Structure 1
Amino acid sequence: MPETLSDTEIARGLDGLAEWRGDAGHLSRTVHVPEQAHGALIGRVQRDAAELSDHAQFERRRGELTFTVTTGFPGRVTEPDLWLARRIEAVLAELA
């Protein structure tokens, strides 16, 4: 089981991820993407999350998609969560 990150480690890990927010419970980011892209984007993120035994939740709104990344244990953020946030950023960059 990965170690829980401190608030300082979470802040440091989010340093290069400008649009992400996070605390000891989860990481999240809302992106503006066309609704027709939601399915493919969610599918790619779910595959990456499964590789890490990590979890990503999605909230869809018209023209927006919010990612919430957690380890699956309440109140814990770990290095795999930061890795998944970076991976999501890479996927979003490919769409741009």
Structure 2
Amino acid sequence: MARRLSDNEIGRHLTRLSGWTRDGDSLRRTVEARDFPTAIAIVDDVAAEAEKMNHHPDIDIRWRTLHFTLSTHSEGGITELDIQLAAFIDETAAAGG
């Protein structure tokens, strides 16, 4: 089971994550893909990794704009699982799906 991170731990992780912000007990990031098919490819890659991790993000798709929200609901906040998935999303978004 994942442990909820402290405010200091979250702050340290956020300095290493690209474009992520804290919103209460969640992490949020918006990704702009070059086109709709690329946006869907990013979502497909994130979905596959989320299944492996058994840790699923909230994703809002608006044409080529993706809004990701990460939180570990069972722990009531942000855990290392959210940090790991955020880093994967960063890599996937940088690679363009």
TM-score by length of structure 1 reads: 0.87
Paired residues, number: 96
Identity of aligned residues (%): 33
**Mapping of 1:1-96 within 5 angstroms?**
1-33=1-33, 34-73=35-74, 75-95=76-96
* Matched-pair contact (CA < 8 Å) for 1:25–1:77: yes
- Determine the C-alpha separation between the residues in 2 that align with 1:7 and 1:55: 22
- Determine the C-alpha separation between the residues in 1 that align with 2:18 and 2:37: 25
The runs of 5 or more residues in structure 1 that have no matched partner are none
* Matched-pair contact (CA < 8 Å) for 1:7–1:23: no
The runs of 5 or more residues in structure 2 that have no matched partner are none
Structure 2 CA distance for partners of 1:75 and 1:24, relative to 1, 3 Å: farther
Structure 2 CA distance for partners of 1:72 and 1:25, relative to 1, 3 Å: same
**Deviation >4 Å, runs of 4+:** none
> More relative contact order in 1 or in 2 (CA 8 Å, sep 6+)?
2
Compute the RMSD of aligned alpha carbons.
Answer: 1.8
TM-score by length of structure 2 reads: 0.86
- Determine the C-alpha separation between the residues in 2 that align with 1:5 and 1:74: 10
